[in-house]
Each structure stands twice: as structure tokens, then as C-alpha cells.
Amino acid sequence: MTRQKSLQRATIEGQRFLENRLLDTRHVSHELAAPLSPEDMTVQAMEDASPTKWHLAHVTWFFETFILAKHLIGYRVFDEDFNYCFNSYYESQGARQPRPRRGLLTRPSTQRVMAYRAHVDEALRALFDQGIDAEVARLIEIGINHEQQHQELLLTDILALFAENPLRPAYRQRQPRAVEPETAARGWIDFPGDIRLVGHSGDGFAWDNEAPRHEVLVHAFRLADRLVTNGEWMEFMADGGYSTPEHWLADGWATVNREGWQAPLYWEQRDCEWLAMSLEGLHAVDRAAPVCHVSYYEADAFARWAGKRLPTEMEWEVAAQGVEVAGGVTPAGAALRPLPAGPPDGGLRQMYGHVWQWTQSAYLPYPRYRPPAGALGEYNGKFMVSQQVLRGGSCATPAGHTRATYRNFFYPHQRWQFVGLRLAAEIQ
């Protein structure tokens, strides 16, 4: 076989692999939405959340707007009005339905949104039949990862919706699992100070905010070998954690008092027992499982109460280098709730796939960062202010979607995502 034919075959095989990944990802979105009724898919629980129907349409709009309309010969836009309905925050694409009012989009119907997805899926197959170049392949890879992000949001947003329902419905029936004993005392892993390389190396997919790779000075530190548990959080609550201003940042203390927070989001007390709403319905709080749905303000207050601190994102990444990426959700598989750490094994546990872990680092660009040109340059760069970085992925993050360099970011008051914490400390 000549070199030219060999390269051509590799290209064809690579395109087939990418097409299968794309269509598999699109199918997963349908599977995640399958337990929901059309009514479930239409309602919006709060301003931070979006309806399932909107998520399904928005990711489809992304493929239509940035790939098909520009690269598939003869492509027919499904509905011109959808650009207004399902654009998220791309100023370059024009006006859009305000985010807090997405739940008012009773039309188009869920049925029409599904027809939209089918129309775009058929066109994506036609695009591969036409043949794609490296630039289109890059855009499709971005689209796959973008849809995976919205798969996680679909789950967290439906939990927010069901938690507001007085019937406390379950997205999925609770999976039987062995009852874990109270988690053993946390251990600590020490890391020496050094100049270290952080950021994405360029091998495989990464978002623009993970680059460029650069050197950082990391002082010696220690990291807890597991996440903070519900049982430990109950101790914080019992010790007046939510009523002692000395533990809190000024903005955090103001938020606690304004919002009346006394426990993590989705916790409620009945007959002196704490219960928590989950994707598997309302159940007793598992003391051994990682605490979840806490804001940065709460995480920081807990760390101060415990005499520790939150790690920086650079410390977290340095510690995570070499730790196997595990966890993540599949439609039929993972827990859909964070699970206990299990017995100590001498290393870091629960680094991935349980809860996103707050860091004390502000979400800022890396040195020499430049946002990509064009509309996709709006994806990450313009949000680099007033937010905190989180690392590690959660039990709602799609399998294979996270890595050591992945930077998530939320405002410090937000807690509807699967967010928790791991403690850090100085080495004296």
C-alpha cells in the first residue's frame, strides 16, 4: 500500500470514528431525557437553570449554526426563529430569549424540538458523506464536548426542578448499594514545593482556557486524601457554622443572612432527621458520602472552621497529575450521586467523578492566553471575572469528559451544581 493511500485510509477511519462519537453523544442526550415527560422538559426551576427542552435544542442549534450552515452544501435551516429561541450568549449571532425566561418557551413544542434534532442529525451524516477537513473536524469535536457539558446541565437542572416539586419525584429509582460505615479520619498527602508545568499539553481535546501550558511556582502543601463528608458538614452545622460570622468572608456572610442558608442546598429536616433531595428522590443524608451542593462561600467557611483552607487550582492540578481519571455518568450506569470514599489506599481518592471541587483560585486567563478568533472566542474568555475555578468533575459529568487540566467555573454564591470541597493546608 502506498503512503498516500495509507494516509487516506487513516483519514477515512478517523472520520468514521469521529462520526460514531458524534452520533453516540447525540443519542446519549436522548437517553438522558427519556425518563422525562414533555411537561418536565419545558419548565425552568430558577434563573441559573434551563429547561431540558432548551438544552436539547441549544446543542442542536450549535451544530446547525457553526457547522452545517457554513460547511454542508445545500443545507436548509430548520426554522429561522430558532436562532432567537436557542442562542445562549453569542452576541455575534444576534438577539436571544433572555436566560431567566427560557421556561416560557412552551412553543416550539418538545415534539418539534425532537424533529429539529432529527433534521440536524441527518444533515450531520450527510456532512460526513460529503467529507470533512481538519477545521470541520475541530468544530465537530468542540460540538461533542459542548453537548456533553449540556448533558451534565440537563441532570443538574432537572434536579433543581424536581426539588421544587412538593411530590419530590425521582428522576431515576434509587440504585441498591451497600451501606458504607462512617468514613475514617481523613489522611493527608504532602507535595514538595517546586516549579511545575501546568495547563494542557496539546495532546487530545482541551478548551481554550486550559492553555497555554506554562510554569508556576507551587510552594510545599498538603492535600486531604478524600473529600469533606456530609457527616463532617453536620459537625460544622452543629457547631454554629452558619451562625458564626468569624468563619465567613464578608460577601458570604451577607449571602447567608440574605438567603437564610442553614444547610447545603436540597437538605431539609423532618422529625429531627436531615434528608437530601437527589436525582433518586428524597432520602436520608448519607453521612459517609461527600457533601454536595455547597457554594464557594460555604466551602471557604468550612475550611476556616476546620483550621485549613481550600487548595489553589495549581495545587489541585499538580496533585492530580498521574492520578487515574475515573468516574463519570453514563445513561444506564453511574450513581448519579456522589459516593463514599471507601478505605484509605495511601493515595488521593475521589479526585474525579464525585463532586466538582472548589478551589480558592479566581477564574482568570493563563499567561499569554488569547481567545480563539470568531464567534467561538465568546465561549470561555469573556467569563474570566468574578468567578471561582472548580476541578475534578462530578457524578453528573459524562464519562471521559474531564481531565487534570479541566477548568470549570462558577460564581461564589452558586450551589445547584454537584459541588463540594477538599481541604488543603500548608506544610509547616
Low-confidence ranges of the chain (pLDDT < 50): 1, 3, 5-7, 10, 332
CATH architecture of 188-426: Alpha-Beta Complex (3.90)
With H, G, I as helix, E, B as strand and everything else as coil, classify residue 325: coil
Please state whether beta strands 419-420 and 356-362 pair in parallel, antiparallel, or not at all (unpaired): parallel
Q: Give the span between the Cα atoms of 244 and 252, in whole angstroms.
A: 12
pLDDT per position as a tens digit, 293-328: 999 999 999 999 999 999 999 999 999 998 988 766
Q: Alpha carbon 59 to chain centroid distance? A: 15
pLDDT of residue 384: 87
pLDDT of residue 328: 67
pLDDT per position as a tens digit, 340-385: 998 898 999 999 999 999 999 999 999 999 988 877 776 777 888 9
What are the residues whose beta carbons fall under 8 Å from the beta carbon of 163, sequence distance 6 or more? 45, 266, 277
This prediction's pTM: 0.94
pLDDT of residue 3: 45
The conformation of residue 290, written as its DSSP 8-state character, comes to B
pLDDT of residue 179: 60
Q: Give the span between the Cα atoms of 78 and 68, in whole angstroms.
A: 11
pLDDT of residue 260: 97
> At residue 400, what is the residue type?
G
Radius of gyration of the chain (CA): 22
Query: What CATH number should be reported for the domain whose range is 3-164?
Result: 1.20.120
Q: Residue 199 belongs to what H/E stretch? A: none
Q: Where in the chain is the domain with CATH 1.20.120?
A: 3-164
Residue 199 CB neighbours (<10 A): 21
pLDDT of residue 7: 42
**Residue 153 backbone phi and psi in degrees, to 5:** -65, -35
Q: Where in the chain is the domain with CATH 3.90.1580.10?
A: 188-426
217, 318 Cβ separation under 8 angstroms = no
